[in-house]
Structure 1
């Protein structure tokens, strides 16, 4: 058994992938890591092996709920992200129809209007101004509120809760428990309201939803709504700020998009690949049987973590992987995961990222950084808390 390395590697005040990933990728087999909480795990960093693990039914996500799972937060994730088929399949079927590519495209005009409104508000404020406050946060909040049917007036409340729930070490176990409890109570109240006063939104549909003729339990519904809320808002908001920061700090990148708006969709894919947003690999998978990953033997009951960002920087798949290359031919990245747990909201996230970049480059071709960036402290999703810009 190899020695355990302290993990995570990534620095919170950066979007760069830690050098340790490149070092261990050159080593045979896998590396044992020890996270702030839970038992040790094997860490997967190569692209081919990452895809294999994510698609392999011999690994279980649900087993993490029965073990002292390796994790960066005091409590393990709950709900759909911690399930195996057939339970995972049953819940995913309920929401998948709301996140198809066709539905995401149907929402594009609404997303475009929200992005343009946010950028115009930024212009009206005048520079220097915080792009996070004026653009990166408002757009996905409006979109997820529109989709789920969450009152926009509550956006500050669930923003505060999500920051605590997604913290890696900046919140105490008590704060984490309080924020999780508040989110569950809030979503439970909204679901109750939708049962008596339904609307044309996803919450109303979920309140009446069933799968294979079976109604979802109250706990399942609440956990599912929380997963959609956090996944649909926090990740997209963070990535919008990350994309802006990356484009503005890479010579010529932002100007290229301004001059070639038709390349924005492809640029989003390259940005998704190159930006190392997670502070660490998450969602451990437990081997159901003895098996091999490349040159590494994994015993039944051992945990494996897949570092998606490291796999997206694997030089065996991507030449000069740490470089943002807007001319890079699209190749399948793992920013949204792979296999049965591939992000259900990927299509909608792409629409938001594309339309917001389109609104920025069209209205503010002179956009530039205008001050010191303030980074999220101890957050699982790394990114700017304040991104001062001018134009």
Structure 2
């Protein structure tokens, strides 16, 4: 099989899929094309949702090498630079921590690091369990099928990030709407995406102003203090941080819960294994993270010097795309990677050949990884212990998926108890 023979472009176009070269597998499973890229094309061109063509790195070790390399840059603000989406892109914002290299990136990351330590996150676990329990009560009390996305998967991380940051819970629908537009890849939504980003940034600025007027002890207050008292942030950086934390703090985790739940419930034996032994929850979460990833396909990087990889050479000045989910499906690291195995991990993400790549690697390793892991663990532990008879209320094959978006997930997951 070759990329030309099986790129799945026609199928992907018919589905409205954002990534024409990487059509999904059954029930949104990882693309079968990852295996082809590992074996035959580890550094081959890839068509991005924007239409730009760029070489993509598919092998696990090559991805880790680039992410940790001192010659790797996130600065893609130059003429002719590739973009994942048309129109406004996250790569365009110089104030975003995602687009910074050291020492600026280190400066901003240090401000936030104390908030997301394992100890700090564990202190939040009891409260997250309370929120999850309250949401499950609503599901359990329903007289008919319930959409798990609306009843549980989205409210849980949204309410948590609201409490952590000091954001009004009543605003969930607003920032969720902006997020969905901003992450859309459809041609017709380019203007809407720009408008959503501007509205979201304006909302972040309003939150900052409110916390300046009425200070408290939430995360936004910590960031405001870093800006106003210590001068460790510019105003643009402050707005970008609040924007980014709200967006990443709810959407990626909600999508992970959604895809993970569908993955388990579509194979009752997997769900039964978790119900029978809730102690499997950490391992199940790690396999969900590996198999279903955070929902996106990866990220752009630019090399400032020539780098040799197992799959080929990346020249100085060249931009490449890191296919994180392809790395998670590398057979040299994960035996039988196409198989979803609830006991694959030991529960911490560590195994003989190394951790999955869903939280990245190197200087830009996901700052919220500890929070996301804890929320996912609480989510699936609560569902398994409180709703052991949970099952799909419709065939898994009828579940609709969002295709034209950077984060792909089921639109809804109907369940009954």
The C-alpha deviation readout for 1:51-78, integer Å capped at 9, x for no partner, is 1111112111013466522313432213
Q: Tell me which of 31, 51, 55 is aligned to 1:18.
A: 31
The CA deviation at 1:311 is 0.4
Within-5 A mapping of 1:238-317: 238-282=255-299, 284-317=300-333
Does the CA-based 8 Å contact 1:290-1:300 persist in structure 2?
A: yes
Q: Tell me which of 68, 74, 78 is aligned to 2:87.
A: 74
Task: Determine whether 1:102 maps to 2:114.
Answer: no
Task: Determine whether 1:31 maps to 2:44.
Answer: yes
Does the CA-based 8 Å contact 2:87-2:191 persist in structure 1?
A: no
Task: Determine whether 1:181 maps to 2:198.
Answer: yes
CA distance in 2, matches of 1:152, 1:212: 28
User: Match of 1:374, SS?
Assistant: coil
The CA deviation at 1:281 is 2.5
Taking structure 2 as the reference length, the TM-score comes to 0.88
Aligned to 2:399: 373
| Contiguous gaps of at least 5 residues in structure 1 | none
RMSD between aligned residues: 2.1
Aligned to 2:16: none
Within-5 A mapping of 1:217-236: 217-236=234-253
The C-alpha deviation readout for 1:203-250, integer Å capped at 9, x for no partner, is 111111159953311111111111111111000011111110000112
Aligned to 1:390: 416
Deviates more, 1:365-374 or 1:219-228: 365-374
The CA deviation at 1:39 is 4.6
CA distance in 2, matches of 1:333, 1:152: 33
Does the CA-based 8 Å contact 2:41-2:311 persist in structure 1?
A: yes
| Contiguous gaps of at least 5 residues in structure 2 | 10-18
The C-alpha deviation readout for 1:267-290, integer Å capped at 9, x for no partner, is 1111111114535322x1111012
Task: Determine whether 1:345 maps to 2:368.
Answer: yes
Does the CA-based 8 Å contact 1:170-1:377 persist in structure 2?
A: no
CA distance in 1, matches of 2:197, 2:54: 26
User: Match of 1:208, SS?
Assistant: helix
Task: Determine whether 1:357 maps to 2:373.
Answer: no
CA distance in 2, matches of 1:31, 1:128: 45
Does the CA-based 8 Å contact 2:45-2:55 persist in structure 1?
A: yes
CA distance in 2, matches of 1:295, 1:351: 35
User: Match of 2:28, SS?
Assistant: coil
Deviates more, 1:28-37 or 1:229-238: 28-37
The C-alpha deviation readout for 1:154-175, integer Å capped at 9, x for no partner, is 1100010000111122652210
CA distance in 2, matches of 1:274, 1:254: 16
- Taking structure 1 as reference, are residues 29 and 114 closer, same or farther at Cα in structure 2, changes over 3 Å only? closer
CA distance in 2, matches of 1:213, 1:89: 16
Aligned to 2:13: none
- Taking structure 1 as reference, are residues 80 and 20 closer, same or farther at Cα in structure 2, changes over 3 Å only? same
User: Match of 1:385, SS?
Assistant: coil
Does the CA-based 8 Å contact 1:277-1:382 persist in structure 2?
A: no
Task: Determine whether 1:141 maps to 2:158.
Answer: yes
Higher RCO, 1 or 2 (CA under 8 Å, sep at least 6)? 1
CA distance in 1, matches of 2:208, 2:327: 38
Aligned length: 388
CA distance in 1, matches of 2:20, 2:305: 27
Within-5 A mapping of 1:189-228: 189-210=206-227, 214-228=231-245
The CA deviation at 1:263 is 1.2
The CA deviation at 1:378 is 1.2
Q: Tell me which of 90, 100, 109 is aligned to 2:107.
A: 90
Q: Tell me which of 312, 320, 327 is aligned to 2:343.
A: 327
Taking structure 1 as the reference length, the TM-score comes to 0.94
- Taking structure 1 as reference, are residues 266 and 211 closer, same or farther at Cα in structure 2, changes over 3 Å only? farther
CA distance in 1, matches of 2:332, 2:158: 37
